[in-house]
Amino acid sequence: MTTPGTGQAPDTAEAVVSVRDLKITFPTLDGDVHAVDGLSFEVPAGGALGIVGESGSGKSATSLALMGLHRGTRARISGELLVAGTDVVTATDQQVRAMRGNDIAMVFQDPMSSLHPQYTIGNQIVEAYRTHHPGAGAAEARRRAVDALERVGIPEAARRIHSYPHEFSGGMRQRVLIAMGLVCEPKVLLADEPTTALDVTVQAQILDLLDDLRRDLGMSLILVSHDLAVVAGSVDRVLVMQKGRAVEQGDVRTVLSEPEHPYTQALLAAVPRVEVSRAQRRAQVRAERAVAAEQERAAEREHGAEPAREPEAAPAPPPAAAAPAAEAGGGEPLLRVENVRQRFRVRGGMFGAASYFYAVDDVSFELHRGETLGIVGESGSGKSTLSRMIMRLLQPTEGRVVFEGRDITRLSDRQLRPLRRDIQMIFQNPYSSLNPRLTIGDSIGTALRVQGERNGKVVRQRVQELLERVGLEPAHYNRFPHAFSGGQRQRIAIARALILRPKLVICDEPVSALDVSTQDQVLRLLAELQDDFDLTLIFVAHDLAVVRQVSDRVAVMRKGRIVEMSDGDSVYEQPRHDYTRQLLAAAPVLDPDEARRLRAERHRLRRQAGDNAGV
Amino acid sequence: MIAYILRRLGAGALLLVIVTLVTFGIFYVVPRLAGQTTEQLATMYVGRAPTPEAIQATIDRLGLDQPIALQFWEFLKGIFVGAEYQFGRNVVECSAPCFGYSFQNYQEVFPEIVRRLPVTFSLAIGAAVIWLVGGVTVGMVSAIKKGSVFDRIAMGIALAGVSLPVFFTGLLALAFLVHAWGIFPSPGYTPFLNNPVAWATGLVLPWLTLAFLHAAMYARQTRAGMLETMGEDYIRTARAKGLKERTVVFKHGLRPTLTPILTIFGLDLGLVLGGAVLTEQVYSLNGIGRYAVQAIVQSDLPVILGVTLFGAFFVVVCNLIVDLLYAWVDPRVRVAG
């Protein structure tokens, strides 16, 4: 099978990438892990394939193998991996190097860390060109680099070529990486989660760019993502991976509209949809919960002496809290934010002269008990700064924050301490927000101890109750964070926030670091807990669909200001502000035709913006 | 960029003033806080015959009974414009920069330091080149061939190098390599201009001894840094471009690895330039470090103080150079400054 052109000659003639029975195995101390197990697919010249799966499904191992990047690692690889006629499994290192960048170029997930920080982007692109065109002069390579940068929409490319990566935003860096891939005009562009680290509007721009490039240059595209909605509008065929195998493969319309495999169905169901309103979603979750509870009770009745699981004992909502929840809307709001501003000092210019900018600029809102306020915005919109001010991790430069009728804007740290019990926060990155040297029991229990609980047994018992409530085992008490997956860690973070029975919980991008299906589970959990614990939530996120599903009201933030705020459905159904419309047009959707329509709409909006700027 | 350089220069100057203040404090203020009287303090500066008259003369001469601030001012003034000391009818001049006057040997400290400077410089710079090149090379090869026999042996030797002090390795080298087996010539200093070959052969062993200690640390640092860098995303990007592994390692891997090493190199070089005390002592090289040791043995405070200040000066200057180089090596520093 090392001789291309014998058996499969007719196929390989038109397929640029052809994978047959690919197996990738990582030897570990606990035996071999089969990251990819018998995968086969093909990408025709000019075609586009989406590879979708959760983390651990083997999709990234596959894309690294396509580039031959598993070489020099412990991975064992077998099968046939033909990329533009080179069998990556058997080729020599030199052949693989000649293929990389020239026949197949890769765009990576994290544009922040994928460019060398110490070389100019021009240097890095020129280098890619000259590696494969040793005869090319410096001037020609430079011209090519400028062309490629212009092609991906970097303004003033000839000047920017001398800039370093840190002088670009995330989206621009991803464009630079794409330009680097394009400079040798490869036959295939392989994009592994190219937009996961980016904002919604930037994500849409990058996906549009990839789509344009594919059309204009006749390249094939392989788009790898955990999110079906990301690939929906950009590919012809889609391949769904689970545990190293392809569970479903076919035309994108067919797979998305009539998924056959249960895993694909589950994955589709988990994608948060911008068109589903909160009421629909809640009704659905409640119904499913009722069914589950009923089944559990039935099961318990059957096995009379089923172990002592007490689903009702753990939540135990504080009895007094139920009443005010009922009269939400009337009475004193739980939280009142009045014209807050947060000023930051920026150093720069000659002799370090300081200038100022407002990260949050004149924001006001009220929040009633039991309510969920969603705050949507892109990075730099000030949404995290706002939540930090409400937590009083930052002191507002101007304005007031009133919690339960009490002005907390200027309280000292000491005075704030009792208040910390009432306002808690769940952070974005569950990997770095848990101390790796503390057991999760300690992590969660510390808050109780800090607030004065001395009895170790009580702490342990309450932590274990809560662990069970968030869907973990009480026996996990003594484990360390590294033993848990991203979703489980976020559950731990939730438990840590809830252990003090807070009144207000601020969730800062709680699911943006998680896979789609894990996202769904965590969101469901949050919804359940909100009911059980009578929580008031502020839900900060850049994902419009996620925010819609959890929020009663939605505030859209941009450049430190709230540009639009009203009840969730009307923001989505009758957006008043242009920016909201842009955001909505950028949100990925599952229907490929709808995705194409939105793409056209984005082109129109962008042209309009360009015309306006020109005037 | 200019703003960055000016800021760094300003910070360096300020640091030197603070260092001077602290050093002065250690020698003139701390003893008083510990309960020493002015007379006792003066005894330390009096020279060989501490008669009451001599002590009183010393107090007057040095102004030890003056307020501390005034004394510090006189001390600073000495560095910039020089000082004069009264010995009966004789006036001894300590010309600028006056880092002190040894009352035991009736010598100005600064010319003595300058006289020994070529020895210390020859030793320090030669050794620095060896340890930098040697350490980084070994570290890189170890990182690339991680887990190989070379890696294990090199890291084993490096561990020994880090843990063995110079007076141990140096004396062993002297006993075996020079005296028993005669592989190396007897160490000693010949001025470079007189005879470059003798200069080099005389210093080979001291260079190697001093470099061994540092090279070991650099090898370990380089190895760790290189391993970390080679796991970075941008290394994967470089490989994905189809670059040769050599280019990936030397262009993309080495530069980020060397950046932090530059920092410790600045510190180390500064320290050694201020006197490689142990190496100079072991090999009887008459450099600044040995001068300091002699002064300590004789409790010759002005010399100790002068050498300390001088050493601090080198550390500050080397750090300043490193800071400026940093901006050139790592573009992100230019903005963050």
Distance from B146 to chain A by nearest Cα, in Å? 12
**In this structure, are A137 and A263 located in the same domain?**
no
- Whole-angstrom distance, CA of residue A597 vs CA of residue B2: 52
**Chain A residues close to B244, C-beta within 8 Å:** 97, 131
Whether the upstream peptide bond of residue B97 has omega within 30° of 0, thus cis, is: yes
Q: Kindly give, in sequence order, each residue whose CB lies less than 8 Å from that of residue A286, ignoring residues fewer than 6 positions away.
A: none
* Residue A449 is assigned to a structural domain of this protein: yes
Residue identified by tokens 């499969």 is A8
The verdict on a CB contact (< 8 Å) between A97 and B335 is no
| CB-based contact A481:A492 (threshold 8 Å) | yes
Contacts of B251 in chain A (CB under 8 A): 127
The reply to whether residue A115 touches residue B241, judged by beta carbons under 8 angstroms, is no
**Shortest CB distance from A69 goes to which of B2, B239, B251?**
B239
- Work out the burial of residue A139: count CB atoms within 10 Å of its CB; fewer than 13 is exposed, 13-18 middle, 19 or more buried: exposed
Whether residue A548 is predicted with pLDDT greater than 80 in this model: the reply is yes
**Inter-chain CB proximity B237 and A131 less than 8 Å:** no
Q: Which residues, 6 or more positions from A255, have their beta carbon under 8 angstroms from its beta carbon?
A: A238, A240, A248, A249, A264
Domain end point (choices A164, A185, A206): A185
pLDDT, averaged across chain B: 86
**Counting one residue from A and one from B, how many pairs have CB atoms under 8 Å apart?**
84
Domain positions in chain B: 2-108, 110-336
Q: Which residue has the tokens 């009264």?
A: B86
Least Cα separation, residue A106 to chain B (angstroms):
7
Q: What CATH number did the domain enclosing A557 receive?
A: 3.40.50.300
Which residue in the block uniquely carries the two structure tokens 């692109």?
Answer: A125
In terms of domains, do A484 and A566 share one? yes
For A76-105, write each residue's pLDDT tens digit.
Answer: 899 999 998 889 999 999 999 999 989 999
Which burial class, exposed, middle or buried, applies to A245 when counting CB atoms under 10 A from its CB (0-12, 13-18, 19+)? middle
Our CA-based measurement puts residue B238 at a distance from the nearest CA of chain A, in whole angstroms, of 8
**Closest chain A residue to B327 measured between Cα atoms?**
A118
pLDDT at A311: 43
Residues A376 and A432 grouped into a single domain: yes
- CA–CA separation, A230 vs A203, rounded Å? 9
Residue A12: the pLDDT is 43
Residues 132-151, chain A: which have Cβ within 8 Å of B?
A: 132
pLDDT digits (tens, 9 = 90+) for A11-32: 444 789 999 999 999 888 878 8
Q: Is B255 on the interface with A (CB under 8 A)?
A: yes
Average pLDDT, chain A: 84
Query: Which of A74, A114, A178 to substitute to test the interface with B, most B CBs within 10 Å?
Result: A114
Mean pLDDT computed over B110-131: 92
**Is residue A34 classed as helix, strand or coil in its secondary structure?**
strand
Query: Angle at which helices B196-230 and B109-144 pack, to 10 degrees?
Result: 50
pLDDT for A610 beyond 70 = no
Query: Looking at the domain assignment, is residue A74 inside a domain?
Result: yes
Residue B134 has pLDDT above 50, yes or no: yes
From A93-97, A114-118, A322-326, B104-108, the region with the lowest mean pLDDT: A322-326
Tens-place pLDDT, residues B85-101: 777 777 788 877 888 78
Residue A185 near chain B (CB below 8 Å): no
CB distance B236–A118 less than 8 Å?
no
A116 Cβ under 8 Å from any chain B Cβ: yes
Closest partner residue to B7 (CB to CB) among A166, A349, A352 is A352
Q: How far apart are CA B313 and CA B123, in angstroms?
A: 18
Does the distance separating the beta carbons of A113 and B233 come in below 8 Å? yes
Decide if A118 and B329 are in contact by the 8 Å CB cutoff. yes
**Claim to verify: residue A378 and residue A508 sit in the same structural domain:** yes
Are A548 and A560 contacting, i.e. CB atoms less than 8 angstroms apart? no
The dotted CATH code for B110-336 is 1.10.3720.10
Residue A65: inside a domain: yes
A553 and A420, same structural domain?
yes
Give A435-489 pLDDT, tens digit per residue. Answer: 888 898 988 998 888 888 888 888 999 999 999 988 888 888 888 888 888 888 8
Query: Is A2:A87 a contact under the CB 8 Å cutoff?
Result: yes
Q: What's the pLDDT at B48?
A: 66
C-alpha pair distances (Å), B260 with each of A250, B103, B220, B256, B322: 51, 44, 13, 8, 10
Instruction: Report the C-alpha gap between A532 and A285 in whole angstroms.
Output: 14
Q: What is the CA radius of gyration of chain A?
A: 26
Residue A183: closest C-alpha in chain B: B241
ipTM here: 0.79
Q: Which has more pLDDT, A377 or A197?
A: A377
A553 and A466 share a domain?
yes
Angle between helices B288-297 and B301-329 (to 10 degrees): 150
Cβ contact A116–B330 (<8 Å): no
Under 8 Å between Cβ of A182 and A217: yes
Q: How far apart are CA A592 and CA A328, in angstroms?
A: 41
Query: Does residue A352 register a pLDDT over 70?
Result: no
Smallest Cβ distance to B240: which of A101, A349, A351? A101
* Residues 293-322 (B) with a CB less than 8 A from some CB of A: none
Q: Is B236 on the interface with A (CB under 8 A)?
A: yes
From B239, B251, B332, residue closest to A166, measured CB to CB? B332
Q: Are residues A383 and A478 in the same domain?
A: yes
pLDDT tens, residue by residue, A139-195: 999 999 999 999 888 888 999 999 999 888 888 899 999 999 989 999 999 999 888
pLDDT over 50 (residue A515): yes
Q: In the numeric block, which tokens belong to residue A140? A: 């020609």
Please, are residues A363 and A479 in contact by the beta-carbon 8 Å criterion?
A: no
Residue B12 has pLDDT above 60, yes or no: yes
Q: Decide if pLDDT at A367 tops 80.
A: yes
Q: Is the pLDDT of residue B172 over 60?
A: yes
Q: Are residue A514 and residue A475 in the same domain, yes or no?
A: yes
Identify the band that residue A319 occupies on the pLDDT scale cut at 50, 70 and 90.
Answer: very low
For residue A309, being part of any structural domain is answered with: no
A480 and A557 share one domain:
yes
Residue A119 clears pLDDT 80, i.e. is over it = yes
CA angle A98, A100, A106 (to 5 degrees): 165
Residue B304 has pLDDT above 50, yes or no: yes
The whole-angstrom distance between B250's CA and the closest CA on chain A is 13
Q: Which of A230, A225, A214 is nearest to A182 (CA)?
A: A214
Confidence grade of residue A615 (pLDDT, cut at 50, 70, 90): very low
Residue A309: pLDDT over 50? no
* Rounded CA separation B54/A106 (Å): 83
Residue A67 confidence class, pLDDT cut points 50, 70, 90 = very high
Residue-level pLDDT at B228:
93
Query: Is the Cβ of A542 closer than 8 Å to some Cβ of chain B?
Result: no
The sign of the torsion formed by the CA atoms of B293, B298, B301, B303 equals negative
Shared domain for A173 and A206, answered yes or no, is no
Residue B152 in this model has a pLDDT that exceeds 60: yes
> Is residue A379 within 8 Å of residue A197, measured between CB atoms?
no
SS3 call for A470? coil
CB A508 within 8 A of CB A428: yes
- Nearest-angstrom CA–CA distance, A314 and A571: 36
Structural domain count, chain A: 3
Q: Which domain holds residue A440?
A: 319-330+370-399+410-584
Is A10 a residue whose pLDDT tops 60? no
Task: Give bridge partners of residue A22 from the DSSP assignment.
Answer: A39
Residue A100 DSSP label: B
Is the CB of B332 less than 8 angstroms away from the CB of A117? yes
Residue B247 distance to chain A (closest CA, Å): 10
Both tokens of A47, joined, read 């075609």
pLDDT in tens, B200-254: 888 999 999 999 889 999 999 999 999 999 989 999 999 999 999 999 999 999 9
Tokens of B129: 């080149």
Which three-class secondary structure string do you get for A448-463?
Answer: HHHCCCCCHHHHHHHH
